Structure 1
Amino acid sequence: MHPPRRPRLLTALLLTPLLTGCFASPGDGDGDGGGTADGKDGSRLRVALAFPPAENLSPYGADATILSRLGVTEGLTALDANGAAAPALAASWRRENDRSWLFTLREAQFQDGTRVTPTAVVTALTRAGRAEPAPAALAGVTLTAEADGATAVRITTTAPDPVLPLRLASPGLAVLAPKAYEDQNAVDPVGTATGPFALTEVTGSTAAALDRFDDYWGGRAQASGIDARFIADGTARANALRTGQIDVAEAIPVAQAATLDAGSRRETATTRTTSLFLNTESGVFKDASLRAAARAAVDTTALADGVYEGHADPGAGIYGPAVTWAEAKRIAPVGRVRAGRPDGAPITLATYDNRPELPEVAQVLKQQLEKAGFTVTLEVREYARLESDALAGKFDAFVGARNSLLDTGDPVSLLAGDFTCDGGYNLALLCDKDVDRAVARAQAVADTDRRQDAALAAEARVLGTDAVVPLVHQRVITGVAGTVGGVLLDPYERTLVGTGTRR
């Protein structure tokens, strides 16, 4: 998003492993099948993605996840199946003191044939730190990277950051070859990343071609390449899979799930929550009592059972059931005011159609809000044409689906990016001193259990403002052709295609 975009983003396993500094490589036994042993060329995969590039495939914004899901980019670390930091371009790491970490690199090559060196990593992280807008994972964080000999990088933060290895797993902090940064105004991921597949051609916002990177450190991919299509319409994605035009389709709409053979549907519990964000900065919902009235008007069970046909759970909080520790620790919202009377107050409710359920959710919300006394105008666009206006506060209310652990895997970082005065993905434009203090306290906590408690205390403060109304916690349906194996069904939605994905 391009107006001033304020910088933006599990269990007990999340934080503890970060401090051990001794890890096994994910290249073996990570469930993706590894590379081919016989050296034969596999078939090309045909993949349909729901979101067209919004930022020319910049590695710093929403497009970073596209690059990650297609197996193009990697960072120093990755998230494992339990949501803990695992090795990627860094083979191991250790914490030197409260502000400094030393990462030891593995032997790896960029797709342009140059080696992954400490100097190259420093260049990548330095450029990310200067990016405008800043990558979500760096919301509220300033880091400095410097080479330490021939194989290590020291990363220092201005304030203690106990979850730095988790933060560095963000798709927005991918490491690219020095060649990618030659243009001071843009970063070019074509042929400059480290993943098993290299971008070779991008056709605007409609398609991209990728070839296998045979020198990938994690093993040679089984597929010879990927032909990716960006298809915003969910019905069109399902039809393309059903008619054999594509092999893998992400985000199959609930309404289309029954049209696919049972064997071609994969349902994955995710940390994605669909929420109603209310503009606290201007317009009708600057009044907290009218935000409370909107929240009271919402029936989340009707959304989960009706719109999502049971493929979602009613909204419980910012963190849903997939964040297993949250339910037992959650506390009641703090600071809520009494609901006011809408008296016909006019509001504009916006959402996007890349996730086909969202317009229907918005339509049901429109009816619920009108029943409560609001006058509602509904606006639906493609996400790429909506995001900047949403972040600029041009709507009174916004319905969006957000993976709460996508950017860093850290629940506190989500709150910092989405709900603080300096948050860069702050769709509610919330700036509340009590929220900021609660988030700052949580950011300072290193102990896993105490950090979770602090995160939920901050969540209670956020929910108390009624700036956000959690609607449903989603399960994602991926369409996979019967001839395809090794698709990566990731609750964090960072990966989709790996070395073992094949047809």
Structure 2
Amino acid sequence: MTTVRRRHILGSLLLAPLLTACFASGGGSAGDGDAKDGARLRVALAFPPAENLSPYGADATLLSRLGVTEGLTALDANGAAAPALAASWRRENDRTWLFTLREATFQDGSAVTPRAVAASLTHATEAKPTPAALSGVTLTAKAAGTAVRITTGAPDPVLPLRLSSPSLAVLSSKAYDARGAADPVGTATGPFELTKVDGSTSATLDRYDDYWGGRAQASGVDVRFIADGTARASALRTGELDIAEAVPVAQAATLDKNTRKETATTRSTSLLLNARSGPFKDARLRAAARAAVDTSVLAKGVYEGYADPGAGIYGPAVTWAEGKRQQPAGRAKAGAPNGTRITLATYDNRPELPEVAQVLKQQLEKAGFKVALEVREYSRLESDALRGKFDAVVLARNTLLDTGDPVAVLASDYTCDGGFNIAQLCDKGVDKAVARAEGIADTAERQDAAMTAEAAVLGTDAVVPLVHQRIITGVGASVSGVLLDPYERTLVGTGTRR
């Protein structure tokens, strides 16, 4: 969610094979491989690289889902921190943690050493804008024998969770140029090595045979970036793909039951209202917009039952949230729109979103707004949205993607200094509630404080939760081992094969 420029890796790749040739050649080996080496996987992702595959922004998730990058920790099935490049860790005091590394190598052949890890994390802290996982956090990392000692500016009880963020992936020293920009090609630690990139069209990954977690069963991954959800589903049906992410609900019925995988996720679709400038700077108009929205129409109609009506920032997949939810307080009384003109924007990488936006347009116009609708591809929308160029944005956001910590999304998306604050919200009450939650270590108490902060955010009407999504992944009948992750951080791994 940041826009970080890095060393341009495409210069030598402009002569990369055409998309069809890429799938015919399998990145330099037979498309199916042989029985010993394993077949290559053919994968379609909905989002092309938005930031030249920088690990510090939106593209970080592309890299983690494809098994290219890793951090010191990962998330387990319960959302707790689990070992990754760090085999273990312990808290030395309120602000200092010691992470003991496992034996591993980078894809360029160099060792994963405490010095290399500390340098990689330091680069992340210096990235501009700041990665979402570090929003409001300062840390220093230094080698300490066979471990890395990480010290935070203030007590951070969820640091192991924070370090699981895809935006804090560990790369070798060869990844960074003189300005600190990061190039993940051949410099990460995962089971698959990124070897070729063809702009926003395709990428080629080869198996990294020296991966610490064991040799992957697939010999590589050939990736296509296909924004059109209908095209992704069609390519799966015709056998051109093995895995198609984010199949549109309108296409779900066209897939055989055994190739249609539904996963409850922590992703919510919301209407974000620009609270800093334009008409929605007026809290009364934000309240009018919120009152105009009927979320049940979206869940039943647009999503055809593959979503639940918006209940809050955290949806049903965050199982502890429902029993702790609080009523928003301090909401402004709705004002009369009286023909107020607004620009509503969204993106088409998730095919339901333009339809959601169209329904919202009708609902808002019925309430008295005049709405201009703008739909772009995500990479062409994000920077303008972050600069507050729109009055309202329809966004699908995985609330636990960045860190796994429920407080982190509040800090990054809704505080004055948040790195992904599309709502442009800056409210003293919200900042105070989020800061209080950030300082709590006990899990249950932290969850309670997160819900108090959620209520404070919702009370501003800068965000209107619309639906909580279930993601449909298309998986070929001969494919097994796909990682259907509710946090949407992983997709292919060492056991994924066909």
The TM-score range, normalised by the shorter chain, is over 0.9
Taking structure 2 as the reference length, the TM-score comes to 0.93
Distance 1:182 1:389, change over 3 A: closer
1:443 aligns with 2:451: no
> Who is 2:406 aligned against?
411
> Who is 1:423 aligned against?
418
> Who is 1:93 aligned against?
89
Q: 1:353 aligns with which of 344, 348, 352?
A: 348
> Who is 1:279 aligned against?
274
Which portions of structure 1, spanning 4 or more consecutive aligned residues, are displaced by more than 6 angstroms?
1-4
1:187 aligns with 2:187: no
Letter in 1 for 2:270: S
Distance 1:166 1:39, change over 3 A: farther
Q: CA deviation at 1:480?
A: 0.3
Higher RCO structure, 1 or 2 (CA under 8 Å, sep 6+)? 1
Partner SS for 1:339? coil
CA-to-aligned-CA distance 1:85-135 (integer Å, 9 cap, x gap): 000000000000110000000000100111100000011000000001111
> Who is 2:44 aligned against?
48
CA-to-aligned-CA distance 1:225-250 (integer Å, 9 cap, x gap): 00000001101111111111111000
In 2, the alpha carbon distance for the partners of 1:265 and 1:364 equals: 27
Structure 2 counterparts to residues 61-460 of structure 1, below 5 A: 61-149=57-145, 151-460=146-455
Letter in 2 for 1:306: G
Letter in 2 for 1:459: E
Matched-pair contact (CA < 8 Å) for 1:248–1:478 = yes
Structure 2: give runs of 5+ residues left out of the alignment. 5-33
Partner SS for 2:93? coil
Matched-pair contact (CA < 8 Å) for 1:3–1:391 = no
In 1, the alpha carbon distance for the partners of 2:357 and 2:154 equals: 41
> Who is 1:484 aligned against?
479
In 2, the alpha carbon distance for the partners of 1:316 and 1:194 equals: 39
Matched-pair contact (CA < 8 Å) for 2:123–2:180 = no
Q: CA deviation at 1:46?
A: 0.3
In 2, the alpha carbon distance for the partners of 1:354 and 1:50 equals: 6
Matched-pair contact (CA < 8 Å) for 2:415–2:430 = yes
Partner SS for 2:365? helix
How much is the aligned-residue C-alpha RMSD, in angstroms?
Answer: 1.2
Matched-pair contact (CA < 8 Å) for 1:110–1:176 = yes
Matched-pair contact (CA < 8 Å) for 2:71–2:84 = yes
Letter in 1 for 2:359: V
CA-to-aligned-CA distance 1:431-475 (integer Å, 9 cap, x gap): 000100110111111111111111111110100000000000000
Letter in 2 for 1:286: K
In 2, the alpha carbon distance for the partners of 1:465 and 1:317 equals: 13
Matched-pair contact (CA < 8 Å) for 2:269–2:397 = yes
In 2, the alpha carbon distance for the partners of 1:187 and 1:412 equals: 27
CA-to-aligned-CA distance 1:282-314 (integer Å, 9 cap, x gap): 111010001000000000000000000000000
> Who is 1:59 aligned against?
55
Figure out how many residues of one structure are paired with residues of the other and give that number.
469
In 1, the alpha carbon distance for the partners of 2:246 and 2:220 equals: 22
Partner SS for 1:380? strand
Q: CA deviation at 1:39?
A: 9.2
Structure 1: give runs of 5+ residues left out of the alignment. 5-37
Q: CA deviation at 1:2?
A: 6.7
